[in-house]
Structure 1
Amino acid sequence: MDTTITYTNDIIGFVQRLRKRLSIAEQLSFETTSPYTKLKALCPTRWTVKVGSMYSLLKNYEVIKDVLDTVIDENDKSGTTTNGYLQQMNQFQYYFGLKLGNLIFSATEQVSCTIQRVDNCLQDVLYSVETVLKYFERIRNGEQFNQFYKQVIKEAKQLVNEPKLPRQRRAPKRYDEGSNPHTFNSSEDYFRNEYFEPIDIIINTLQKRFKQSTFSLLCKVEQFLIQVSNSTYDTKQNKDDLDNIHDFLENDIVIDHLKIECLMINDYFKLIINQKQWGTKKITKISTICDLMNEVVGKNMFHEFDKLIRLYLTTASAERAFSTLNRLKNSIRSTMHQEHLNYCLIARIYKEKIDGIDHIDICTIFIQSNERRQAYFGSFAELLQ
């Protein structure tokens, strides 16, 4: 799948880079019966643009192959690169990877868009993740693979070569230990493994990320907020919920103040709903509570309750990474490549670890790595004096 994503990004970028190649694609589409639609660029680091790019290449597969053929015939200076792309597109393995990527990412991007919606609550996120997990578990079986494999072979018959096993690579003789790589009996067995591997990775990753013990506690906090928003706070009934909140947010929430606010919050919400004539009979989502708390009076009068809403929604460890990226990418993204940007972001996010590094040692190692730097910088210790 990594190879498929890389080549898809390269091929689409190669065609889109020059207007001449796009004109060739439009002309070939006009001369033949193969329709041509606009290609969509692929960004490997974004969550929601892979399936559109892969689908656009699948839809224009025959046209793009003809474009590459035309570029090779014109003896263009990029002929070697073009020939490599064409050979890749003639392989069944690449076409299979495109179809598999379209199958997988169409589901993952759907749940990614759902997760990133502003009006989501935690329960909605967990439901959407559970749905996509059920979907992948359903398609992860031999019968589903057989249907998918036969369909891909049928569609690829006129486009690419016959499926075959990749060339076996022997381990170097200098390696005394280790077993030989697995040998597949047929090309179907090989592509069955290619089909199951990314699905297993996705299932394991989603379970590891969204089936943590913290999420069950956060769901309880969310249910507590909705419950006290719809009915009067009950000291006995909600005691366990408050104990959980106290243990989870001990240094952030004043529990005694929160108890007092919970006794009045239901009356306040009813007043706002009647005043604005919303017609809401029962609060079922955190987004509704957030809209009600946007009033200045609510934020000032129910300070701990408002703080509880915001704190439990910002405990994800990845949130700071995305927030940092939003602050930095607009100013420096255009001045460097993605790899360089990643290194800058790592240093920016984990500032406490960077602060623990001895800068003098790093500079000394950098200077002493070759004679040219030593001659230019001299001793770093002398520079500090």
Structure 2
Amino acid sequence: MTREDTVRLTPLDLLGLGLLGLRTRKTRAALSALGISIGIATMIVVTAIPASSQAALMRELSALGTNTLQAVGTPNQDPPVLLPKESVGMVARIGPVTRVSAVANTHTLVRRSDRTDPQDGSGLTVLAARLDLLPAINARVHIGHWLTATTERFPTVVLGSVAATRLGIGDVPRSGPGPQVLIGRTWFTVIGILAATPLLPDIDRSVLVGWSAAGEHLNFDGHPTVLYVQSWEASVEAVRAVLPQTIYPEQPGQVQVSRPSDALAAKRATENAFSALFLGLAAVALLVGGIGVANTMVVSVLERRSEIGLRRALGATRSQIRGQFLTESVALATLGGIVGTALGVLAAAGYAAYHGWPVVVPLTSTVAGLAGAVLVGVLAGVYPSMRAARLTPTEALATA
């Protein structure tokens, strides 16, 4: 029976030997772990911070209405195409649709005073609006308040941002009578002004009256002009394909549906750009950390030749020497990976919170950081461990 057959080490013994070098050379181990920690922390940061920024950007783009479609009758038709009164309810029954509302052109003029030119409507459109319009177009009230179930039956209006400017109305009092505008032959009281809607400039140039009030005071016939449809973002194109048949089953060709907003295309392009950036920066960070560990382990072999020679003289086999240094390399890299992951998560969370972004730490990058640290430890320790195993006892002790 050979010596190699009699000398055996359990995995726990091998782990103890691998950690021995870290315990006896704490400063060197700390500095070596710092190198891999910086690499892994960099990987976490360069993936988490752009991911948080991306989430904030996606939230802003979604708020603009990237999942909103507009359906209108074919313009310039004689007679004009009238969408069915029941079209809103029919569209609401489409599975992926989350919201649907409508406005209708009343074909009346609005004036600030009865002394202005009766034919001058300042380029503004008077629209009958449903009460659920604002969430369907991602709009909000800037001053005053929106129509309610009570006020929409009376001659009250809400102005778009551009309409308010052109009519010279900049404020709405919280109490007391508000400013009035003349629509047709009826005076309407302004109760609110909308904030700007970047993706819907037509709303900015509109004067919005209640659906019931339009029927009573402006001879509105109840047929919607434009339908605003929100759906799950992944299903926007599918919903767009079925809207004409749903809105006007008899003449679907008379219905035009807008393409998804350019903001949706920008959003998807941004996602792809960020994904490519993540991969490139993560690869660089891991490469830097791996080079640092490999360099540390090579130096460790040179410094510990006497230890290697003594262990070989006492009966340690080449495989045990190789396993010892490989274990030390993996342990060193894993320690650095754990510390680096923690530092990276804390740094990314702090940076995102400072900028008011959602805190997003991709799970894949965290797992990849830890797994990458182990892999880097293995790769970085292969050459130094093989070099240590090749040293004979005489050679190691003679050059120590």
TM-score, normalised with respect to structure 1: 0.26
Q: In terms of Rg, which structure is larger?
A: 2
* Higher-helix-fraction structure: 1
